[in-house]
Chain A
Amino acid sequence: MSDFFTLTVLVGTLASGIRTAMPYLLAALGETVGQRSGVLNLGVDGVMLLGAFGGYYTVLQTENHWLGVLVGLAIGLGMGLVYALVTIVFHAEQGISGIGIFLFGLGFSDLLFQELVGTPRPIKPLPKVEIPLLADIPHLGPAFFQHNLLTYVAFALVPLTTWMLMKTTFGMNVRAVGENPQAADSLGVSVAQTRMGAILFGNTMAGLAGAGLSLQLAIFQHNLTNGLGFIAVALVYFGAWRPRWVLAGALLYGMVTATRLRWQSLDIIPRGASDVAAMAPAIITILALVLLASRVRGPAALTKPFSRH
């Protein structure tokens, strides 16, 4: 155990936890806004897979990371339009249509990968951006200020999302529409347009999270996310629809994952217990939520389609 409390290992663990948390955070923030407007999207994982492949393939072809990120965003936006059509126009049951999106993304990203790439070929990973001055602080610098740009973006989006939800007209409409669409409608807020905006935001973030994942790992293969998108949806509940607490959930999940791998590498967790170690992030997340036991109620109109009559 003493091996763990050396500065290099602690710094490495912190950095690893932050890297791990980045895609969860991006996807969960997007889903938070979507759910605040009353729309559940279980298809986050599928959108992430499509964004991940799109980003990866773009970088493989052009070696331009920012083009890759852009493609990830665009794919997310496109899937958002599809999901908006399905949920807002056609009033489809949200739980099931999300699973439809998930299956489509899982299958289609794999199909494209097999047809266009085949063998997993590494790309150049997203470059690290060292923040001037801060990156040079001993220990804190390497832990917090030597990450790729998308990691900073993800963290910056936490206060920005809060601000958007709480202070902007769009955010107020989102919350109103998620709580009581009838009342919002009678006040002249377009339920459809507001939800459309929230869905587009959520899916675009999922696409970005996917591209962030594949560009950070510098690879794509079948089911690259391994259910990451589902965990991101779970983290929205962990965070009780508030960006700050969603951040806490993503960091908790990422840090526990990073810590268990470090402990395994230092033999603090014996080799035979690898499966128990792999359960840790899931179990600890549940336990943490039980202990925190916030009785925050979700958006009242979550999963309920809206029509005037």
Chain B
Amino acid sequence: MNIHRPHRLRRLFALLFATALVAAACGSDGDSGATATSECGTDTSVAMGDSVTDLTFALVAPSAKDDLAFTQSMVDSLTRLGIEPQITDGTFIVEEAAAAIRGYAEEGVDVVIAHGTQYGGSLAEIAPDFPDTSFIWGTATDTQGLDNVFAYYPEADQGGYVNGWIAAEMTDGAAMGVVGPVEAGDAVAYVNGFIAGATANGAPAPSVVYTGSFSDVALATETAQAHVDNGAQVLTGTSQSTVGAVNVAAANDIPWFGTQSNQEAWSTDLVVASQVYHWDVVLDDMIESIEGGTLGGEAMAITLQNGGLVIEINGCYGLDDSVVDGAEGIIAEIIDGTIDPT
């Protein structure tokens, strides 16, 4: 049943090859794999990879599958693994999501991915009813003691730290603005990491506004404008509402740092770097376990160390090589534990 080893090797080889190409194109050396600089003008959409498994998958997610944020990060990750799941998206109502999760399990889908923290409570009830189905749930740091549930989460403060560090390099002591949603979940981790990274690199503490909504674009827009009026030279933010903030950044020629998915599509010229969630790194391990007969019981983090968090630097922005090298250094120090980003 150990059919995916060769696939993994092939993918690793492909990844190395791609990295080498990118490195050659950008003329920079020393890419650690935790950063990737895109060549300007390349399409950032993810291509379907070679299929790594014969298992069937279903995905239940709270926002749209192409939201350029949380849900898309999972869809893209599956795409990289050559997996085309059945998808029920936009199910922000927990009870609806629970019905969908249960329905897929009843249908006999091998692996059901519950891509929403808030689905965990329902999953605790559903999973024991389907002992032969594997459930993958996140973002969550534990599996609630269920042996057919895998959990996944990002160490989002790591990428926040790197983004904050780069931002401080660029601003030279000027103000920075953060557009936050509700003060909870991964958003806080990312924002706190960003603050830690910026201040560690000598910048004044960035101004943070939590709007109180994950989805209110108007509030995110006006918040970004407030930061700009206060003299912010760099903006960042998290949640699907930040698309409004990116527009403000674009209108004022202010660089933007993204997270969750590669947000270059929103503004080609002004997105400096995005912390991208590559769930495929942990999904691959989970698939291997499932095929080996272990259906769950473990929580896995994506980190800079394991390549699940990738800082994707926008080639079009033209960040100085010295800054890129510096960021590589910071990433290396986070990886070896010298820097604690929290």
Do A and B pair up? The answer is: yes
Q: How far is the CA of A122 from the CA of B221 in the complex (A)?
A: 13
B138 close to A (CB within 8 Å): no
B250 near A: Cβ within 8 Å?
Answer: yes
Q: What's the Cα separation between A264 and B206 when bound, in Å? A: 12
Partner of A125, one of B67, B72, B243, B247: B247
Shortest Cβ distance from residue B215 to the other chain A in the assembled complex, whole angstroms: 6
Give the contacting residue for A217; candidates B221, B229, B250, B265; CB below 8 A. Answer: B221
> What are the nearest 5 A-B pairs in CB distance?
A278-B212, A12-B229, A274-B210, A119-B66, A264-B209
| Beyond known contacts A16-B225, A119-B265, A258-B222: 9 more, CB 8 A cutoff | A217-B247, A221-B217, A222-B64, A261-B211, A261-B219, A264-B223, A265-B209, A274-B209, A277-B212
The reply on B118 being an interface residue by CB < 8 A is: no
What B residues does A12 contact at CB under 8 A? 225-226, 229
Query: Does B223 contact A217, Cβ atoms closer than 8 Å?
Result: no
Q: Check B183 against A16 for contact (C-beta < 8 Å).
A: no
B238 to chain A, nearest CB (A): 14
Closest to A122 in B: B247
Smallest Cβ-Cβ distance to B223: which chain A residue = A261
Given contacts A9-B229, A20-B222, A219-B244, contact A272 B183 (CB under 8 A): yes
Instruction: Report B-chain residues with C-beta under 8 Å of the C-beta of A264.
Output: 209-210, 223
21 inter-chain pairs at a CB distance below 8 angstroms, sorted by A residue, are A12-B225, A12-B226, A118-B64, A119-B68, A119-B72, A120-B67, A121-B266, A122-B246, A122-B267, A217-B247, A219-B247, A222-B63, A222-B90, A226-B213, A257-B219, A265-B177, A265-B223, A265-B227, A265-B230, A278-B211, A278-B213
B216 at the interface (CB under 8 A from A): yes
Distance in Å from the Cβ of B24 to the closest Cβ of chain A? 30
Closest B-chain residue to A117, C-beta based? B66
Chain B residues positioned under 8 Å from A9 (CB to CB): 229-230
Q: Which residue of B lies closest to A271 (CB)?
A: B208
CB within 8 Å for A118 and B66 given contacts A12-B229, A19-B222, A261-B226 = yes
Question: What is the interface of chain A mostly: helix, strand, loop, or mixed?
Answer: helix
Out of A16, A222, A272, which one reaches B226, CB within 8 Å? Answer: A16
Partner of B243, one of A19, A219, A266, A274: A219
Q: B227 contacts which chain A residues (CB < 8 A)?
A: 265
**Min CB gap B37→A, angstroms:** 23
From residue 261 to 295 of chain B, which have CB atoms closer than 8 A to chain A? Answer: 265-267
Chain A, Cβ-Cβ closest to B45: A119
Cα A120 to Cα B221 in complex, Å, equals 15
The answer, yes or no, to whether A218 is at the interface (CB within 8 Å) is yes
Docked CA distance A16–B219 (Å): 10
Question: Does A195 reach chain B (CB closer than 8 Å)?
Answer: no
Bound CA–CA A38/B223 (angstroms): 38
- Is B240 on the interface with A (CB-CB < 8 A)? yes
**Chain B contacts of A219 at CB under 8 A?**
217, 243-244, 247
Q: Kindly state whether residue B218 has any CB partner on chain A within 8 Å.
A: yes
Within B142-190, which residues are at the interface with A (CB < 8 Å)? 177, 180, 182-183
Interface residues of A in 93-122 (CB under 8 A from B): 110, 114, 118-122
Task: Give B141 Cβ to nearest chain A Cβ, in Å.
Answer: 23
A52–B183 Cα distance when bound, in Å, is 29
State A13–B221 Cα separation when bound (angstroms). 13
Question: Complex Cα distance A110/B66, Å?
Answer: 13
C-beta contact mask, A240-265 vs B, less than 8 Å → 1, else 0? 00000000000000000110011011
Contact A274 B217 (CB under 8 A): no
Tell me the nearest residue of chain A to B212, going by C-beta. A278
Q: What distance in Å separates the Cβ of A144 from its nearest Cβ neighbour in chain B?
A: 15
In this complex, the member of A119, A223, A228 whose beta carbon has the largest number of chain B beta carbons within 10 angstroms is A119
Whole-angstrom distance between the Cβ of B155 and the nearest chain A Cβ: 22
- Give the contact-size bracket for chain B: 35 or more
- The answer to whether A261 touches B222 (Cβ under 8 A) is yes
Contact digits for B190-220, partner A, Cβ 8 Å, 1 yes 0 no: 0000000000000000011111110111110
Min C-beta distance of A48 to chain B, whole Å: 12
Task: List residues 223-245 of chain A with CB under 8 A from any CB of chain B.
Answer: 223-224, 226, 228
> Cβ of A226: which chain B residues have Cβ within 8 Å of it?
213, 215-216, 218
Q: State whether A217 touches B217 (Cβ < 8 A).
A: yes
Q: Closest B residue to A9 by CB, please name it.
A: B229
Flag whether B251 is at the interface (Cβ < 8 A): yes
Within 8 Å CB of A217, what residues of B?
Answer: 217-218, 221, 244, 247
Which of the listed residues B68, B72, B210, B213 has the most CB atoms from chain A within 10 Å of its own CB? B210
B230, closest chain A residue (CB):
A265
Cα–Cα distance between A258 and B229 once the two chains are bound (Å) = 12
Cβ contacts under 8 Å, B72 to chain A: 119
Distance of A222 Cα from B226 Cα, bound (Å): 25
With A119-B66, A217-B244 in contact, do A266 and B217 touch (Cβ < 8 Å)? no
Least CB separation from A123: chain B residue: B247
Known interface pairs A118-B66, A226-B215; A271-B183 also in contact (CB < 8 Å)? yes
The CA of A267 and the CA of B209, in the complex, are separated in Å by 9
List of A residues within 8 angstroms of B66 by Cβ: 118-119
Q: How far is the CB of A170 from chain B (nearest CB, A)?
A: 33
| B residues near A278, Cβ cutoff 8 Å | 211-213
Question: Which residues of chain B are within 8 angstroms of A223 by Cβ–Cβ distance?
Answer: 215
Is A8 an interface residue when CB atoms closer than 8 A count as contact?
yes
> In the docked arrangement, what's the CA distance between A84 and B120, Å?
46
Least CB separation from B240: chain A residue? A221
Q: How far is the CA of A16 from the CA of B211 in the complex (A)?
A: 15
Which residue of the partner chain B has the closest CB to A220? Answer: B217
> In the complex, what residues of A have CB within 8 A of residue B64's CB?
114, 118, 221-222
The interface centre, meaning the residue of B212, B246, B250, B266 with most chain A CB atoms within 10 A of its CB, is: B212
- Alpha-carbon distance between A87 and B3 when the two chains are bound, in angstroms: 65
Check B183–A262 contact: CB distance below 8 A.
Answer: no
A8 contact set on B, CB distance < 8 A: 229
Q: Contact between A120 and B219 (Cβ–Cβ < 8 Å)?
A: no
CA distance A141 to B225 in the complex (A): 17
- The distance in angstroms between the C-alpha atoms of A181 and B72, with both chains bound, is 55
Complex Cα distance, B64 from A101, in Å, reads: 23
